């Protein structure tokens, strides 16, 4: 009808929506959202996220938040992160511990520390939470915030991880190299400088399974 009336823009938008719905039906909503985020098509991803299962929605919102931080849109990234946390804490729709751990590590790699610290607090698996808290503590140490790093390390529930991290915190300037942590700060407005290749690295990274969790073979 739109085409017959020469409403070409409306016809194009409707055609794209039809194609998107067909793709969702063929591949599943979560996979399509992952693909959209990888391509940087944020508007479509946000539009589609609303129709996902609530647990999947929380997970995809965290991944989208990571993408926004990565592409230097911290205000929007923080807002999406907070919306995801409201869904998790208020709605009780919590992604798996493994997924939370992976997303938190991605955030650590681009210089974020506050968001991974929040995610560590909702991971129920004691060992995974401890490993993540250890990496956050080391990240704070590398930023020169030793008292904050020690405070976090002292709260690590797994004693073996706690002892390892406390020992590592005494390692001075080389702390964090073994963990593969970034040499940056905590996000754009907090002093971080994104690594040169981060923009291209996102292709295929968001929504893709990473290596084994820390303590079970660190990522390269």
> In Å, how far are 5, 17, 46, 106 from 132, measured between CA atoms?
58, 40, 28, 11
98: closest CA among 183, 203, 216? 216
Provide the Cα torsion 6, 9, 10, 12; round to 10°.
100
What pLDDT sits at residue 90?
Answer: 87
If one counts every other C-beta atom within 10 angstroms of the C-beta of residue 56, the result is 17
135: closest CA among 159, 97, 160, 162? 162
Task: Report the distance separating Cα 10 and Cα 142, nearest Å.
Answer: 52
What pLDDT sits at residue 36?
Answer: 76
Q: What is the pLDDT of residues 33-50, one digit of tens each?
A: 777 777 777 777 777 787
Q: Are 192 and 186 in contact (CB under 8 A)?
A: yes
Task: Report the distance separating Cα 196 and Cα 62, nearest Å.
Answer: 23
Return the structure tokens found at 102.
Answer: 């992976």
Reduced DSSP (H G I as helix, E B as strand, rest coil) percent helix, strand, coil of the chain, to 5: 65, 0, 35
Q: What is the pLDDT of residues 144-184, one digit of tens each?
A: 999 999 999 999 999 999 999 999 998 754 444 444 444 33
What's this model's pTM, rounded to 2 decimal places? 0.67
Task: Report the distance separating Cα 135 and Cα 105, nearest Å.
Answer: 8
Q: Residue 25 burial (CB < 10 Å; 0-12/13-18/19+)?
A: exposed
Establish how many alpha carbons lie within 13 A of residue 141's alpha carbon, considering only the half-sphere containing its beta carbon. 26
Q: What is the pLDDT of residues 102-132, one digit of tens each?
A: 999 999 999 999 999 999 999 999 999 999 9
Q: How confident is the model at residue 190 (pLDDT cuts 50, 70, 90)?
A: very low
Could you give the angle at the alpha carbon of 80 between the alpha carbons of 144 and 71, nearest 5°?
60
């Amino acid at each position: 009808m739109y085409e017959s009336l020469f409403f070409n823009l409306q016809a194009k938008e409707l055609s794209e929506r039809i194609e998107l719905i067909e793709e969702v039906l063929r591949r599943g909503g979560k996979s399509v959202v992952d693909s959209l985020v990888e391509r940087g098509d944020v508007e479509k991803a946000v539009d589609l996220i609303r129709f996902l299962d609530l647990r999947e929605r929380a997970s995809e919102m965290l991944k989208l938040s990571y993408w926004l931080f990565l592409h230097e849109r911290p205000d929007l990234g923080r807002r999406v992160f907070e919306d995801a946390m409201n869904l998790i804490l208020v709605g009780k729709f919590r992604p798996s511990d493994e997924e939370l751990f992976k997303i938190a590590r991605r955030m650590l790699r681009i210089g974020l520390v506050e968001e991974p610290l929040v995610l560590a607090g909702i991971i129920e698996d004691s060992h995974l939470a401890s490993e993540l808290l250890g990496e956050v503590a080391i990240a704070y140490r590398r930023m020169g915030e030793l008292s904050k790093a020690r405070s976090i390390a002292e709260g690590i529930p797994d004693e073996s991880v706690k002892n390892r991290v406390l020992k590592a915190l005494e390692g001075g300037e080389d702390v964090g190299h073994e963990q593969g942590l970034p040499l940056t700060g905590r996000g754009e407005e907090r002093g971080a400088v994104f690594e040169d290749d981060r923009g291209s690295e996102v292709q295929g990274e968001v929504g893709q399974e990473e290596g084994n969790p820390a303590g079970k073979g660190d990522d390269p």
